[in-house]
């Protein structure tokens, strides 16, 4: 009998931005049920932490000249949990590293309590690549001593991803909040030496920064940029795609990388040409129209929060009302021009990449915070909120009508707790082509370089081409539209090796290389393989053309006991990569299909948890049990970690 | 994965499982290897090259791959090793080693105020909790290695001064409770399970040949030569320059996207532009990366018999099919006999390409002569034992057919003895042999009496390392 049951297992995946967890493995693996923002608030007592901001609540508006002391309930301050606000939050993880241990432990405890598990629950923790062995020990100690867990396992995030995809050899590019990890995994063994860990300034945060850098001059706040990034109108275009509305867009772009185009079909120029066509019909009328909108827009972006605190609330609301009226009038007149860029209900829809301007709904948390801090009564607060809220009563639906993903909801699934009171105030914001420039700070090139470095440092040279052929881009930082495609195009433009014209035609294809040795297809699979994916083969023609025929030479090793020499020594291989491909996500997880595989590490962890805790009954030493811990102490974890 | 290989697993009684795991540090010219004793590969491999940005407030040092591969204005790439194979810049060396240990083994200490997150928000420091954390990290900061004994490796020719400096850093800067220094040659032999043998270590900056008898280095027999990986790189560079037309060497960072061109045609790539172009040293380092790829996929050692220049060998080499190589900017060509010439200088000084900056290497620096010189320092009756255990290590020995050629050369010098090359197949064992040997040694129970404890160091001073680590 397996030592544990499916429904007892806890999987926790901490991240710099969001920590996800789940109790129990369902029949068909689902995205994590519990999502928590990875932050805690310092409690009143130092060293203690609260999961939500605690705010003093006032039921009545303060009367001018009539202080709090005179109120009957002055002493009995009522505290309430503010579940939306993030003022003063402490984020225990930065770039994947745990920087504040006491806060981190409090966060894990909060997650654990939120799951409310029974006693006999094994825990599998997804470890960030940057965590050092010493930190693994610290975590092991914490889990065993705090939760008295009967079994504990640590699994590397990159490993988990490869389990999710069911591939034994792959290159995992995990785009996180502030960092990118690139890990080469061959035959389920991560290659630790050349792994690029926590490449700073390349994650989702950098994208926000990139937007902010472009939009700061238009007095956009950081929060606005963050939400813009999460909205579907923000997109990263493949390199050298002209932005809509620019003069280049109308010119035909030369094919920049026929090599990429030839071997993979992903041409760098495709979208460019397409957008050039799409941009053509838009006449000069649009320009004038855009000008108008920009005016209105500038007002909209104004810092409403400070207006409100500045006491000019009424004025602002009045003006807002007037604007709304005007807009409505304009619409009634059938002015399709006005609505062109600003509204989604325009009959003819251009793809986002071809529109110069687009709008999205912005949830103004700061405004809400300010309102709350003004100590208005709850009724008044709700009233003001309703007045300021521009969003239609359809939370989550965004301009293009695309479904918001779980992450877009921002882990704020707990915000919908009943009344409108704590719901965010939404305003409509419009943005121009800046929305395509999130990654213009060279981030894609740096990730591409990291991938090249990682794969080049893999000692088993014959594995490299397979590693190039099985890239996995995951992590919530890569969720931005077009990110994966743009990254792949960048890598291909820089690193793809074209078949050399010199050998392609002059050399014959040697008969003995019909099956490239490098794919590992013949290597025995480790028993643990969850669902071994078919390794992608190198095109033998390409291989032949780029390898030339050293295999013709008589392999005469100096000594008979060097069987591995010819296999591993350099030069028995060709330059890589001759092709670069993304791995297809697995198709048999319907629940994951809808939300995307960006959090596939969690899926992999579920697969792994099922295997190590249930299926193989602990034979593979995938986890440490309490008796083990009692015998060996925290250092023993290294013998068990996956 | 954490088990040692079968040849090295210590018996249960010997194994010091209850001991705190020691850290093994194996600094080399190209990379620094660090990891816990008892493991089979070093967990932390960090380039020995570091970045330095000079500013008014003093130089800023950047360690680790992520930092030094990113083009930045005024970023200089340097190495702390001197030209003679001895650490030159001790201050930076200590910092870099510490980075290698803390970044991936023991956890980062809160030394860098911009990164530790404590200074992000002044409000956070206002409350008591953050202060407590501060205190804790400051304690850590003082003693990064307080819990782990440290076994360090050194080259066979390390002078007394350098050895004393090493123990000083370990004891005083890192606060390690115990320390030991061992020569790379001995450790590489241990990694192959040998107590005696000749260790041929072809690294990045130096090639060394070390005779080891019963776990002791015969110090007078240690040979070193600058003909190693970097020498091969320079030969390739020279070859590129000599070629007609000159072969352009454009590193990756300059290229934005490349276009396929015919072999030998000029590259048509889209280049990146920089406001402030990165420094020459940065470019040089990036060029090395391309050369490494070239060495891996094109360079071949003439396998023998005879030298490349002998008789018709060069003709035979010419008739062999060439290997194509594509530069980062798309330029590509098939390399024929040229690819044999790059490494020929390791074996045959006459064959080396030379110019003003690269004088002809000395004959006694070629590999066959080094082996010969090393063997000569050994008693005649011990020589057959050594020649039966020729351990080949160092990443540059991974050059294609290197083993074949070495085998030929040694048999050529010593035709009457039974010569046996021991070249581990797995690449990690070749590249990290000294570290692996250190890992085995430090996890042996019987080794524990050899540690120099902190107390002994305090009593006897740094010179203890001369007495105890032979």
Partner residue opposite A46 with nearest CB, options B129, B262, B299? B129
Chosen domain end from B303, B320, B351: B351
Please report residues of A whose CB lies closer than 8 A to that of B69. Answer: 449-450, 453
Q: Dmax of chain B from CA atoms?
A: 81
Q: How far is B160 from chain A (nearest CA, A)?
A: 32
Contact criterion met (CB < 8 Å) for A132 and B263:
no
Residues B239 and B317 in one domain: yes
Nearest residue of A to residue B409 by CA position? A558
B382 has pLDDT over 50: yes
Partner residue opposite A259 with nearest CB, options B117, B260, B272? B260
Q: How far is B261 from chain A (nearest CA, A)?
A: 8
Residues B249 and B187 in one domain: no
* pTM attached to this predicted model: 0.78
In angstroms, the CA B128 to CA B134 distance is: 10
Phi, psi of B433 (to 5 degrees): -55, -45
Residue A67: exposure state from Cβ atoms within 10 A (0-12, 13-18, ≥19): exposed
Partner residue opposite A571 with nearest CB, options B43, B299, B403? B299
**Probe site for chain A from B40, B192, B258 (most A CB atoms < 10 A):** B258
Two structure tokens written together for A132: 């050092």
In angstroms, the CA A632 to CA A625 distance is: 10
Cβ atoms A143, A60 nearer than 8 A: no
Nearest residue of B to residue A201 by CA position? B66
Contact criterion met (CB < 8 Å) for B298 and A571:
yes
Chosen domain end from B351, B376, B411: B351
Please report residues of B whose CB lies closer than 8 A to that of A258. Answer: 259-260
Partner residue opposite B407 with nearest CB, options A100, A498, A558? A558
Long-range contacts at A208-215 (CB < 8 A, ≥ 24 apart): A208/A438, A209/A441, A210/A437, A210/A438, A210/A439, A210/A440, A210/A441, A210/A443, A211/A434, A211/A435, A211/A437, A211/A438, A213/A441, A214/A434, A214/A437, A214/A440, A215/A431, A215/A434
Contact criterion met (CB < 8 Å) for A99 and B117:
yes
Nearest residue of B to residue A550 by CA position? B321
Please report residues of B whose CB lies closer than 8 A to that of A185. Answer: none
Listed range (A399-403, B136-140, B332-336) with the worst mean pLDDT: A399-403
B181 has pLDDT over 90: yes
- Hey, is B366 helix, strand or coil? coil
End-to-end CA distance of chain A, in Å? 22
Please report residues of B whose CB lies closer than 8 A to that of A509. Answer: none
CATH number at residue B323: 3.90.640.10
Contact criterion met (CB < 8 Å) for B293 and A452:
no
Residue B184 confidence (pLDDT): 93
- The DSSP line for A66-80 is B-GGGSTTSSS-EEE
Q: What is the pLDDT of residues A201-213, one digit of tens each?
A: 888 888 888 888 8
Q: How far is A140 from chain B (nearest CA, A)?
A: 15
Q: What is the mean pLDDT of residues A439-467?
A: 86
Q: What is the pLDDT of residues A381-391, one digit of tens each?
A: 677 667 666 65
Q: What is the mean pLDDT of residues A251-268?
A: 42
Residue A553: Cβ within 10 Å count: 13
Strand order in the sheet with B23-27: B44-47, B31-36, B23-27, B150-154, B178-183, B452-453
Residues B174 and B235 in one domain: no
Residues B244 and B324 in one domain: yes
Contact criterion met (CB < 8 Å) for A196 and B303:
no
Query: A60: closest CA among A39, A50, A74?
Result: A74
**Probe site for chain B from A129, A545, A565 (most B CB atoms < 10 A):** A565
Written in H, E and C, the secondary structure of A281-299 is: CCCHHHHHHHHHHHHHHHH
Please report residues of A whose CB lies closer than 8 A to that of B299. Answer: 570-571
Partner residue opposite B259 with nearest CB, options A258, A456, A569? A258
Residue A501 confidence (pLDDT): 64
Q: How far is A79 from chain B (nearest CA, A)?
A: 20
Cβ atoms A528, A559 nearer than 8 A: no
CA trace torsion B201, B202, B207, B208 (10° rounding)? 0
Partner residue opposite B69 with nearest CB, options A453, A500, A549? A453
Residues B159 and B261 in one domain: no
Residue B55 confidence (pLDDT): 84
CA trace torsion A557, A562, A564, A570 (10° rounding)? -50
CA trace torsion A287, A288, A290, A293 (10° rounding)? 180
Positive or negative: CA dihedral A340, A344, A348, A349: positive
Contact criterion met (CB < 8 Å) for A256 and B257:
yes
- Hey, is B53 helix, strand or coil? strand
In angstroms, the CA A372 to CA A389 distance is: 15
- Compute the mean pLDDT over every residue in chain B, rounded to the nearest whole number: 84
Nearest residue of B to residue A202 by CA position? B66
Q: How many domains is chain B partitioned into structurally?
A: 2
- Hey, is B229 helix, strand or coil? helix
- Hey, is A124 helix, strand or coil? strand
Q: What is the mean pLDDT of residues A439-464?
A: 86
Please report residues of A whose CB lies closer than 8 A to that of B336. Answer: none
Q: Which residue has the tokens 């990139």?
A: A210
Residue A263 confidence (pLDDT): 43
Q: What is the pLDDT of residues B316-371, one digit of tens each?
A: 888 888 888 888 888 888 888 888 988 999 999 888 888 888 888 988 999 999 99
Query: Which of the two residues, B21 and A16, has the higher pLDDT score?
Result: A16
Positive or negative: CA dihedral A159, A207, A579, B328: negative
Residues ≥6 apart with Cβ < 8 Å to A77? A56
Q: What is the mean pLDDT of residues A293-305?
A: 46
Q: What is the mean pLDDT of residues A132-145?
A: 90
Cβ atoms A443, A451 nearer than 8 A: no
Partner residue opposite A47 with nearest CB, options B2, B132, B324? B132
What ranges in B9-121 are assigned the alpha helix state H?
65-68, 90-101
Residues B454 and B344 in one domain: no
Q: What is the mean pLDDT of residues A119-147?
A: 90
Residues B62 and B176 in one domain: yes
Partner residue opposite B332 with nearest CB, options A189, A500, A635? A500
A343 has pLDDT over 70: no
Residue A78 confidence (pLDDT): 67
Residues B265 and B335 in one domain: yes
Query: What b-and-e string marks burial along A406-416, b requiring 16 or more CB atoms within 10 Å of the CB?
Result: bbbebbbeeee
Chosen domain end from B335, B351, B367: B351
Cβ atoms B43, B432 nearer than 8 A: no
Q: Residue B235: enclosing H or E segment and its boundaries?
A: helix B229-242
Q: What is the pLDDT of residues A510-569, one digit of tens each?
A: 433 334 444 444 444 333 333 333 334 444 444 444 444 333 333 333 333 333 333 344
Cβ atoms A447, A375 nearer than 8 A: no
Phi, psi of A335 (to 5 degrees): -70, 85
End-to-end CA distance of chain B, in Å? 32
Query: Which of the two residues, A429 and B300, has the higher pLDDT score?
Result: B300
Residues B34 and B146 in one domain: yes
**Probe site for chain B from A97, A254, A512, A571 (most B CB atoms < 10 A):** A571
Two structure tokens written together for B19: 């001991």
Query: Which of the two residues, B19 and B176, has the higher pLDDT score?
Result: B176
Contact criterion met (CB < 8 Å) for B402 and A569:
yes
Nearest residue of A to residue B133 by CA position? A100
Give the ipTM.
Answer: 0.86
CATH number at residue B53: 3.30.420.40
Please report residues of A whose CB lies closer than 8 A to that of B402. Answer: 569
A602 has pLDDT over 80: yes
Q: What is the mean pLDDT of residues A447-468?
A: 88
Flag whether B268 is in a domain: yes
Please report residues of A whose CB lies closer than 8 A to that of B326. Answer: 497-498, 500, 575
Query: B369: closest CA among B207, B156, B187?
Result: B207
Partner residue opposite B297 with nearest CB, options A552, A571, A635? A571
| CATH placement of domain A10-55+80-163+587-639 | 3.30.420.40
Contact criterion met (CB < 8 Å) for A503 and B334:
yes
B300 has pLDDT over 50: yes
Contact criterion met (CB < 8 Å) for A550 and B321:
yes
Residues ≥6 apart with Cβ < 8 Å to B405? B301, B302, B303, B304, B347
Partner residue opposite B263 with nearest CB, options A88, A240, A502? A502
Cβ atoms B45, B31 nearer than 8 A: yes
Contact criterion met (CB < 8 Å) for B105 and A562:
no
Please report residues of A whose CB lies closer than 8 A to that of B233. Answer: none
C-alpha pair distances (Å), A278 with each of A238, A242, A352: 17, 12, 11
Structure confidence at residue A49 as a pLDDT band (50, 70, 90): confident
Flag whether B245 is in a domain: yes
A59 has pLDDT over 60: no
Q: How far is B17 from chain A (nearest CA, A)?
A: 9
A160 has pLDDT over 60: yes
**Probe site for chain B from A494, A496, A505 (most B CB atoms < 10 A):** A494
Query: What b-and-e string marks burial along B414-435, b requiring 16 or more CB atoms within 10 Å of the CB?
Result: beebebbbbbbbbbbbbbbbbb
Residues B186 and B327 in one domain: no
- Hey, is A631 helix, strand or coil? helix
Residue A440: exposure state from Cβ atoms within 10 A (0-12, 13-18, ≥19): middle
Contact criterion met (CB < 8 Å) for B129 and A557:
no
Q: What is the mean pLDDT of residues A152-169?
A: 91
Cα atoms in the Cβ-side hemisphere of radius 13 Å centred on B108 = 23
Q: Determine the structural domain holding residue B280 and report its residue range.
A: 229-351
Residues B85 and B171 in one domain: yes
- Compute the mean pLDDT over every residue in chain A, rounded to the nearest whole number: 70
Structure confidence at residue A425 as a pLDDT band (50, 70, 90): confident
Query: Which of the two residues, A622 and A516, has the higher pLDDT score?
Result: A622
Query: A444: closest CA among A597, A238, A195?
Result: A238
Q: Residue B436: enclosing H or E segment and its boundaries?
A: helix B433-443
Residues B298 and B346 in one domain: yes
Structure confidence at residue B126 as a pLDDT band (50, 70, 90): very low
Phi, psi of A145 (to 5 degrees): -85, -30
Q: What is the mean pLDDT of residues A144-157?
A: 90
Flag whether B358 is in a domain: no
Looking at chain B, how many residues does it have?
A: 470
Q: Which residues of A69-195 form beta strands (DSSP E)?
A: 78-82, 93-94, 97-98, 123-127, 151-156, 170-175, 179-186, 189-190
Nearest residue of B to residue A620 by CA position? B1
Task: List, by residue range, all CATH 3.30.420.40 domains of chain A.
Answer: 10-55+80-163+587-639
**Probe site for chain A from B9, B31, B51, B65 (most A CB atoms < 10 A):** B65
Q: How far is A7 from chain B (nearest CA, A)?
A: 30
- The DSSP line for A545-575 is HHHTTGGGS----SSTT-TTHHHHSTTSS--
Flag whether B414 is in a domain: no
Flag whether B219 is in a domain: no
């Amino acid at each position: 009998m397996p030592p544990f049951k499916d429904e007892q297992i806890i999987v926790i995946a901490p991240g710099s931005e969001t920590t996800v967890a789940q109790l129990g493995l369902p029949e068909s693996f689902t995205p994590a049920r519990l999502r928590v923002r990875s932050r805690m608030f310092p409690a009143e007592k130092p060293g203690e932490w609260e999961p939500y901001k605690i705010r003093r609540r006032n039921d009545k508006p303060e009367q001018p000249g009539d202080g709090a002391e005179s109120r009957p309930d002055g002493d009995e301050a009522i505290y309430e949990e503010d579940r939306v606000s993030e003022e003063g939050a402490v984020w225990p993880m930065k770039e994947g590293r745990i920087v504040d241990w006491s806060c981190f432990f409090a966060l894990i405890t909060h997650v654990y309590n939120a799951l409310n598990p029974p006693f006999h629950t094994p825990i599998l923790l997804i470890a960030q690549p940057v965590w050092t062995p010493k930190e693994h020990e610290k975590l092991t100690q914490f889990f065993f001593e705090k939760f008295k867990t009967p079994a504990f396992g640590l699994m590397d995030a990159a490993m988990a991803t490869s389990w999710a995809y069911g591939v034994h050899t792959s290159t995992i590019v995990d785009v996180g909040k502030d960092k990118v990890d690139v890990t080469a995994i061959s035959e389920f063994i991560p290659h630790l030496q050349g792994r690029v860990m926590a490449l700073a300034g390349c994650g989702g945060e950098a994208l926000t920064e990139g937007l902010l850098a472009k939009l700061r001059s238009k007095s956009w706040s950081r929060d606005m940029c963050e939400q813009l990034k999460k909205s579907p109108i923000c997109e990263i275009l493949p390199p050298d795609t002209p932005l809509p509305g620019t003069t280049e867009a109308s010119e035909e772009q030369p094919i920049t990388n026929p090599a990429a185009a030839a071997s993979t079909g992903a041409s760098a120029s495709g979208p460019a040409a397409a957008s050039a066509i799409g941009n053509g019909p838009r006449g000069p009328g649009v320009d004038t129209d855009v000008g108008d909108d920009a005016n209105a827009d500038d007002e909209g972006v104004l810092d409403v929060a400070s207006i409100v605190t500045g006491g000019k609330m009424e004025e602002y609301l009045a003006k807002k009302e007037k604007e709304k009226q005007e807009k409505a009038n304009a619409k009634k007149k059938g002015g399709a021009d006005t609505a062109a860029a600003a509204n989604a209900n325009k009959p003819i829809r251009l793809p986002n990449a071809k529109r110069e301007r687009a709008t999205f709904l912005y949830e103004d948390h700061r405004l809400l915070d300010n309102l709350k801090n003004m100590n208005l009564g709850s009724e008044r607060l709700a009233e003001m909120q309703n007045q300021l809220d521009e969003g239609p009563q359809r939370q989550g639906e965004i301009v293009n009508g695309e479904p918001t993903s779980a992450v877009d909801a921002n882990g704020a699934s707990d915000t919908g707790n009943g009344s409108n009171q704590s719901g965010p105030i939404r305003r409509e914001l419009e943005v121009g082509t800046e929305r395509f420039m999130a990654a213009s700070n060279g981030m894609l090139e740096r990730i591409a370089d990291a991938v090249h470095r990682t794969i080049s440092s893999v000692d088993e040279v014959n594995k490299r081409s397979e590693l190039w052929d099985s890239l996995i881009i995951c992590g919530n930082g890569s969720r931005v539209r077009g990110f994966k495609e743009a990254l792949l195009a960048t890598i291909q433009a820089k690193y793809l090796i074209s078949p050399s014209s010199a050998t392609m035609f002059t050399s014959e294809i040697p008969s003995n290389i019909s099956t490239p040795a490098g794919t590992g297809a013949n290597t025995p699979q480790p028993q643990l393989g969850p669902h071994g994916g078919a390794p992608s083969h190198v095109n033998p023609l390409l291989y032949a053309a780029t390898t030339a025929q050293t295999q013709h030479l008589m392999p005469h090793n100096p000594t008979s006991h060097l069987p591995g020499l010819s296999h591993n020594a350099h030069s028995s291989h060709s330059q890589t990569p001759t092709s670069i491909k993304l791995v297809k996500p697995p198709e048999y997880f319907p629940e994951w299909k809808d939300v995307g595989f960006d959090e596939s590490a969690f899926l992999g962890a579920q697969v792994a948890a099922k295997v190590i805790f249930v299926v193989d009954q602990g034979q593979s030493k995938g986890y440490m049990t309490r008796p083990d811990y009692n015998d060996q102490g925290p250092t023993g974890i290294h013998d068990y970690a996956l | 994965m954490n088990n040692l290989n079968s040849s090295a697993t210590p018996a249960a009684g010997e194994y010091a499982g209850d001991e705190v795991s020691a850290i093994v540090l194996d600094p080399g010219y190209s990379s620094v290897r660090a990891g816990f004793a008892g493991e089979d590969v070093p967990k932390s491999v960090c380039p020995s090259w570091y970045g330095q940005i000079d500013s008014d407030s003093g130089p800023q040092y950047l360690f680790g791959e992520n930092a030094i591969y990113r083009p930045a204005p005024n970023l200089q790439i340097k190495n702390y090793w001197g030209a003679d194979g001895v650490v030159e810049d001790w201050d930076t060396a200590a910092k870099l080693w510490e980075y290698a240990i803390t970044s991936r083994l023991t956890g980062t200490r809160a030394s860098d105020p911009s990164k530790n997150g404590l200074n992000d928000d002044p409000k956070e420091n206002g409350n008591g909790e953050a202060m407590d954390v501060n205190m804790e990290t400051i304690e850590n900061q003082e003693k990064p290695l307080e819990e782990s004994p440290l076994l360090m490796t050194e080259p066979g020719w390390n002078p007394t001064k350098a050895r004393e400096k090493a123990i000083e850093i370990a004891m005083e800067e890192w606060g390690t409770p115990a320390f030991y220094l061992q020569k790379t040659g001995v450790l590489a032999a241990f990694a192959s399970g040998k107590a005696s043998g000749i260790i041929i270590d072809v690294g990045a900056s130096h090639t060394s040949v070390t005779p080891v008898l019963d776990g002791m280095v015969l110090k007078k027999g240690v040979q070193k030569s600058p003909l190693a990986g970097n020498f091969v790189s320079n030969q390739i560079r020279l070859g590129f320059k000599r070629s007609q037309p000159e072969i352009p060497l454009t590193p990756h960072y300059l290229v934005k996207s490349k276009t396929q061109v015919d072999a030998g045609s000029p590259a048509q790539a889209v280049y990146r532009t920089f406001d402030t172009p990165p420094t020459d040293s940065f470019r040089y380092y990036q060029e090395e990366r391309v050369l490494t790829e070239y060495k891996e996929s094109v360079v071949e050692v003439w396998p023998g018999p005879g030298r490349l220049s002998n008789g018709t060998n060069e003709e035979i080499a010419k008739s062999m099919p060439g290997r194509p190589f594509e530069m980062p900017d798309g330029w590509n060509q098939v390399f024929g006999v040229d690819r044999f010439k790059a490494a020929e200088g390791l074996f045959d000084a006459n064959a080396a390409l030379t110019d003003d900056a690269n004088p002809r290497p000395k004959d006694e620096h070629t590999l066959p002569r080094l082996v010969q010189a090393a063997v000569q320092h050994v008693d005649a009756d011990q020589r057959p034992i050594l020649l039966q255990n020729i351990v080949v290590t160092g990443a540059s020995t991974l050059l294609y057919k290197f083993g074949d050629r070495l085998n030929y050369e040694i048999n050529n010098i010593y035709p009457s003895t039974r010569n046996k090359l021991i070249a581990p197949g797995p690449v990690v064992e070749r590249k990290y042999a000294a570290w692996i040997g250190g890992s085995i040694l430090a996890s042996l129970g019987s080794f524990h009496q050899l540690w120099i404890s902190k107390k002994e160091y305090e009593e006897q001073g740094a010179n203890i390392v001369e007495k105890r680590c032979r």
